[in-house]
Structure 1
Amino acid sequence: MKTEEVLAIFREAGAILEGHFILTSGLRSAVFLQKARVFMHADKTERLCKALAAKIRQAVATPDYVVGPAVGGLIPAYETSRHLGVPAIWVERENGVFRLRRFEIEPGARVVIVEDIVTTGLSIRETIECMKGLGVEVIAAACIIDRSAGKSDVGVPLIALAEYEVPAYPADQVPPELAKIPPVKPGSRNI
């Protein structure tokens, strides 16, 4: 699946929003990818995650598990794991730190972290830290869309179904035309 096909699915779902957004990373952007509008459609989610699973298979060996960072990575991790034929587990924040709370995983297990959208890669890096603390080998990370177009270093190979570079700015460096629009924060962190 090519980037334009992925973006077409997001457009069909009304998931490419324009305005002034505070991203989960804290950066500001004129574009927000509201993946929840895509993930509410099982057929669209299945198409994206089946293609992501195929891309993962081409890049690395099949993992023992797929790990998703909660909340945004839950649905794509589950659906991608279904196409890879391996279990999906997830990490969730406990006192601001990702922990594997609901599952056990054996040391030495090989995992791929699956995320929805990558901007800075922070959630993936935090998930890697959690997995390494459990003695787990992270062989790669994957996402539906990489907003950084390959610029985010997550510490392991990043497999992106699509790269869609959208400018994002620190709050004190927002362009004047964007600063005129009141910001909204539609992301899931800190909820």
Structure 2
Amino acid sequence: MDAPISELARDIDAACRLSGEFTLRSGLISSEYFDKYRFETKPGLLRRVAEAMVPLLPTDTEALGGLELGGVPIATMVSSLTGLPTLFVRKEAKPYGTRKLAEGDDVAGIQVTLIEDVITTGGAVRNAAVALRSLGARVHTVVCAIDRSDPGHNILDTIELTTVSVLTKSMLDAAHE
């Protein structure tokens, strides 16, 4: 791991890893919790993550698709660094107004690179990619800040979606030691 990435891993781990008693989404109780919003709400850390994402973007990217909720601030920052337009991709189309799934310009025929904060199983990213493809977008890559998936548990390759990450769970764990 090069120095800037190891420093980023250390700083994100220090900001986001909490100790205490936490009920996880699964219902299990854990003595440790990773609060991703603690880096997304700190402008300095958010910018460093976005800067690390820029070189990971496929060269054919025409728009960034920030996934609700955590991917939106990161995609906005990456957009400000690259000049690429941003889409805000909802978990489901809103049932009123424009009834859009992706806020921003029309996605038909556009090469969209998805931006996500943390991937654990890939379910939300898979749903977004499938939905955007049904609207005519071309989607082949998701760039995430942190890939926390266990080997063999990221389902995105089953829909031909490549995952590229700035950091992994093992990198954060190594920074914590």
Contact preservation (8 Å) 2:92, 2:101: no
Q: Distance in 2 between matches of 1:55 and 1:11?
A: 21
Map 1:47-66 → 2, pairs under 5 A: 47-56=48-57, 60-66=58-64
Within the alignment, does 1:6 sit opposite 2:8 as a pair? yes
Shift of 1:42: 0.8
Aligned residue pairs, count: 160
Q: Shift of the alpha carbon at 1:28? A: 4.6
Which among 67, 70, 73 is matched to residue 69 of structure 1? 67
Q: Which residue of 2 aligns with 1:36?
A: 37
Map of 2:114 onto structure 1? 113
- Residues in 1 aligned to 2:27 and 2:84: alpha-carbon distance in whole angstroms: 34
| Structure 1 residues 62 and 28: alpha-carbon distance in aligned structure 2, compared to 1, 3 A threshold | farther
8 Å Cα contact 1:142-1:159 kept in structure 2 = yes
* Matching residue within 75, 81, 84 for 1:83: 81
Structure 1 residue 12: Cα displacement? 3.8
Q: Give the RMSD, CA atoms, in angstroms.
A: 2.8
- Residue 143 of structure 2 corresponds to 142
Tell me, in whole angstroms, the C-alpha distance in 2 between the residues paired with 1:27 and 1:133: 33
Q: Per-residue deviation at 1:95? A: 7.3
The equivalent position to 1:157 in structure 2, one of 149, 162, 173, is 162
1:22 is the counterpart of 2:24 = yes
TM-score w.r.t. the length of structure 2 is 0.77
For structure 1, which runs of at least 5 residues remain unmatched after alignment? 167-191
8 Å CA contact 2:54–2:78 kept in 1: the answer is yes
Structure 2 residue 98 is the aligned partner of structure 1 residue 93 = no
CA contact (8 A) 2:86 2:104 kept: no
1:46 aligns with 2:47: yes
Greater shift after overlay, 113-122 or 140-149? 140-149
Aligned-residue offset at 1:99: 5.1
Q: For residue 141 of structure 1, give the secondary structure of its aligned residue in structure 2.
A: strand
SS at match of 1:5: helix
- Kept after mapping to 1: 8 A contact 2:146/2:167: yes
Return 5+ residue gaps in structure 2 as ranges: 172-177
Shift of 1:43: 1.2
- More helix per residue: 1 or 2? 2
